[in-house]
Amino acid sequence: MLSNYYNCAYISEDEITKEIFPDVYKNIEDYPDKQKIAESQLLKRTKEIFDSGKCIVIDRINLGNKFIEEINKAFHKHLILKVLWPPMLTAIERDKRREGWTSGEIAIKQFYKKYEGLKPIIGERNYIDNSHQTPEETLKIFIEPLLGKPLCTYPR
């Protein structure tokens, strides 16, 4: 959605993983070597898009200290890292209502535990509780001021 509102490029680690490892992308965590290749591709493609002068939105759930260090090194002052962080019960309820695939309660709890540990690196102020907002409201309140552009009509 952010890419549509602000005419930013969008890149998804899931999509890259599906493209290069279609047979194992759903369980990529079980293949650390392949996961590292997908991560490398994500960073490489992100740099290429950024170097072309475009704003870019990276869709990646599996953040960790090392990847944060890598993108910080690559983009330093241009990096804006935000984590949408509603209360865990809200995330679990949203997941249950999702169409298609769901993460499940166990995965969400593991995710929350991992991201709690990343707060000192990412910064507490960069965790956004969007539990009482629509996605459009979250963009307007938190993201628009960072980009310095008014919200465009969606879709473009």
Residue 48 and residue 93 share a domain: no
- pLDDT given at position 16: 94
Question: Is the residue at 153 inside a domain?
Answer: no
- pLDDT given at position 150: 54
Residue 138 and residue 67 share a domain: no
7: left (phi over 0), alpha (psi -120 to 50) or beta: left
- Rounded to two decimals, the pTM is 0.75
Question: Is the residue at 154 inside a domain?
Answer: no
139-148 long-range contacts (CB < 8 A, ≥24 apart) are 139/1, 139/2, 139/5, 142/82, 143/2, 143/6, 143/82, 146/80, 147/6, 147/55
Which carries the bigger pLDDT value, residue 149 or residue 22? 22
pLDDT digits (tens, 9 = 90+) for 87-146: 999 999 999 998 877 889 999 999 999 999 999 999 999 999 999 988 788 888 877 777
Residue 75 and residue 3 share a domain: yes
Residue 124 and residue 138 share a domain: yes
pLDDT digits (tens, 9 = 90+) for 38-72: 999 999 999 998 898 888 888 888 888 888 988 88
Considering all CA atoms of the chain, what is the largest pairwise distance in Å, rounded to the nearest integer?
42
